[in-house]
Structure formats: C-alpha cells, structure tokens
Amino acid sequence: MSEEFRETIFDAFTRERTTTVSGIQGTGLGMAITKNIIDKMSGSITVNSEEGEGSEFIVCIPFKVISAPEVKSKGAHPAESEQQYDFTGKRVLLVEDNEMNLMIAIAILEKTGVTIDVAENGQIAVDKVQNAAAGYYDIILMDIQMPVMDGYEATRQIRALEDPRKAETPIVAVTANAFEEDRKITMGAGMNGHLSKPYDIPEIMKTMSNLMDSTE
C-alpha cells in the first residue's frame, strides 16, 4: 500500500485509491474496528508495507497464561459455529449517534445482505419513517441515549403515526442500559425487544430474524 494510505489505514471510512478503482466492495471500517477492539484489550497493532510487495500487520495483546486444569474447570470448549443469516431484500433503520458503535453495527449487519439506512438521532429516525413508504423499513434498531430526541420518545412518535403499517414497524432497543428496569421502560415505550451492548451477534441475528419473519 502507499505510504500516504498507511498513515490513515486505521481511520474510519478510509480506503486505498487502488481498491476503489479495482471495484472491490467495502466500507473502509474493518481496520478502524480492529484497532478499536485491540485498544480495548490493552494491545497494539502496527503495519509495515511496501507498495507492490505486500503488507505485514503486527498485533500484540497481553494474555494471562492458565494451566490445563484451570481450562477444564472453567468448562472451556471450542466456540459453536454461528448460524448464517441472509436478510437480502430487507431494510433496517439503524439509529445510533456514536460513530464507533455505528461502524461496528454496520460491519455486523452488512454481512447478512440487509440494506442499511442510518439516523443519527431519534428525530431523524421519526422523519425517515414518516416520509418513507409504508413497509419500507422491515425493522428499526434503536439506540436510547441520543441528542435531540432519545430512543424512547422516537419510538412513541413512530407508534403514533397515522399509517398503521409505519406505526407497527418492529423496533428493538440496542443499548448499554441493561438493567431489568430499563427493559420495562423499553417495552412500555412500545418497543418489541431489548438488546444490550456490547453487541451479542447471535442474539441480534436471532431477534431480527424472528421479528422480520413475524411481519411477513
């Protein structure tokens, strides 16, 4: 890769000019997400690259070494294979104001083939649903704590829309508010589900599949 691109490779939505020209699809989020995860693990990632030759990524992460008996006592086992979901033809409205959370959610969702629309706050989400055709959105993934209008109020306003198909669009809270009281408030606002951050990918996929199937 070029020296210019190497300096920005870990920035969000950054892509090398040559990949764009070659027609390879991508959002330019992969390396930004990777670095964010490694940073949270108190690690580091560096890259050495020579244009036309290749690239080397070096990841260093501190781990605690445990003995075999400890592994057995903790019930450690290989991760179960995740079910593959195909939401091609479906459209999700992703309501999220945090850039990093938005990048992670997009990276998770785009693998399913779903079409993603984004709203940075609750007011924008309400406007998008109101101005779209009935049935345009198959599901809304709604953050709670946002500027301008929070997820609770946005949900109430969507539920109050005159068109019943718009008003009944499945809405799922995706939030760091994970207490039982938060779940009760979520359901009281008219949402169909409550998912906690950090993202549990299998749970997100299962919830989306169940709710979108129920509206067909």
Indicate the CATH number of 91-214 among 3.30.160.270, 3.40.50.2300, 2.40.30.30, 3.90.1640.10: 3.40.50.2300
Query: Into which CATH architecture does domain 3-60 fall?
Result: 2-Layer Sandwich (3.30)
Q: Give span(s): CATH 3.40.50.2300, the chain.
A: 91-214
The better pLDDT of the pair 69, 150 is held by 150
Query: 189 falls in which pLDDT band (50, 70, 90)?
Result: very high
97-117: pLDDT as tens digits: 988 889 889 989 999 999 999
**How many residues are recorded in the chain?**
216
pLDDT category, 27, cuts 50, 70, 90? Answer: low
The CA distance from 180 to 153, in Å, is 19
Average pLDDT over residues 150-169: 97
Kindly report, residue by residue over 118-148, the tens digit of the pLDDT: 999 999 999 999 999 999 999 999 999 999 9
φ, ψ of residue 69 in degrees (nearest 5): -60, -35
Query: Residues 6 or more apart from 35 whose CB is under 8 A from it?
Result: 10, 45
- Residue 31 is predicted with a pLDDT of 83
What's the whole-model pTM score? Answer: 0.66
Give the span between the Cα atoms of 123 and 148, in whole angstroms: 7
Locate CATH 3.30.565.10 in the chain.
3-60
Q: Which two tokens stand for residue 23?
A: 């027609």
Q: What is the mean pLDDT of residues 33-54?
A: 86
The most confident of the ranges 21-30, 31-40, 47-56, 69-78 is 47-56
Task: State percent of the chain over pLDDT 70.
Answer: 83
**Mean pLDDT rounded to a whole number for the chain:** 85
Residue 45: the pLDDT is: 92
Q: What is the pLDDT at residue 19?
A: 46
**Given this model, what pLDDT does residue 142 score?**
97
Residue 138, burial from CB neighbour count under 10 angstroms (0-12, 13-18, 19+): buried
How would DSSP label each residue in 85-149? ---TT-EEEEE---HHHHHHHHHHHGGGT-EEEEESSHHHHHHHHHHSPTT--SEEEE-SS-SSS
3-state helix, strand, coil in the chain (%, to 5): 40, 15, 45
